[in-house]
Amino acid sequence: MLELGTTQTLKVIKKVDFGVYLADPDYSPEGKIPAEEKVLLPKSQIEESIDVGDTLRVFLYKDSKDRLIATVRTPYLKLHEVGKLRVASVTGIGAFLDWGLEKDLFLPFHEQTYRVKPGDEILAALYIDKSSRLCATMKIYHYLAKESPYRMEDRVEGTLYEISDNFGAFVAVDDKYSALIPKREFIKDIPVGSHVVARVIEVKDDGKLTLSIREKAYMQIASDSDAVMKAIESYDGVLPFNDKASPETIRREMNMSKNEFKRAVGNLLKMGKIEITETSIRLVNNDQ
């Protein structure tokens, strides 16, 4: 059976001026074979020594006229695989990606998690659409593997491919394993498509990873304290809110959770670098 989007070993059943026809290796030359069970490999793709009965390893896709066709080239993606592809062009109907074959791969607008432009390198998966055509999607959640080799506290790298207001940031670790940075952990302004380095804080029962881009509290406090000091200095030594401010204000102004902000402020207070008033946080002038 011919399977679109896959690599198969097929047998040459007929030679013609414009190429060879291929079919399942079990095909018998004496029998009839339906048109839908054979596929053309163009002349430009074959060697002169190829003859009827030979087998070839080919990839099956569709040409510009939407006909099933074979190629001996290996595409950068096969059906249901995820990988990085370069945007070759953008048109009024969507984008086209270079995937290593003669015909570029179509990426519809509705399958984009953000608008792409020519030259972009994006993470995409290969699927078959409702019209039985091979297309790309940037919505790769269901195509990512769940069983990774990583464990708690491991450092991982990956691509941030989608941000959800409800859940947080979705990451493809090593561009193939499913992971999430929960909303409570995702407090940085990192755009979709970015490369991220994170720490594994949980491995779910189904194998999915939960990540954090922050260090453990005792390690994070030093950098958070530095960030608070820089913020106070940017306000000429008087931050116009204190640790009793709303979580929303702290997150907007400091890109921290309220607990992280309170820990950093407490650390600075203990070191004698600041003082807290009813409405502000001030630098302490230790030179006086």
**pTM, to two decimals:** 0.72
* Domain of 125, in residue numbers: 82-141
pLDDT for the residue numbered 288: 43
Identify the pLDDT of residue 28: 64
User: 222 with 279, same domain?
Assistant: yes
For residue 255, being part of any structural domain is answered with yes
Q: Given 212, 246, 264, which residue is the final one in a domain?
A: 212
pLDDT, tens only, 244-278 = 888 888 878 887 778 778 888 888 888 888 899 99
Is 1 within a domain? Answer: no
Residue 149 is part of a domain; what is its CATH number?
A: 2.40.50.140
Are 151 and 204 part of one and the same domain? yes
Judge if 15 and 64 occupy the same domain.
yes
Of 25, 47, 71, the residue that ends a domain is 71
Claim to verify: residue 259 and residue 205 sit in the same structural domain: no
Together in a domain, 223 and 198: no
Each residue's pLDDT tens digit, 154-203: 999 999 999 988 899 999 999 999 999 998 877 667 889 999 999 899 99
Query: Structurally, how many domains does the chain consist of?
Result: 4
Looking at the domain assignment, is residue 187 inside a domain?
Answer: yes
Q: Is residue 2 part of a domain?
A: no
Q: Which residues of the chain have pLDDT under 50?
A: 288
How far apart are alpha carbons 253 and 264 in whole angstroms? 14
- What is the model's pLDDT at position 287? 52
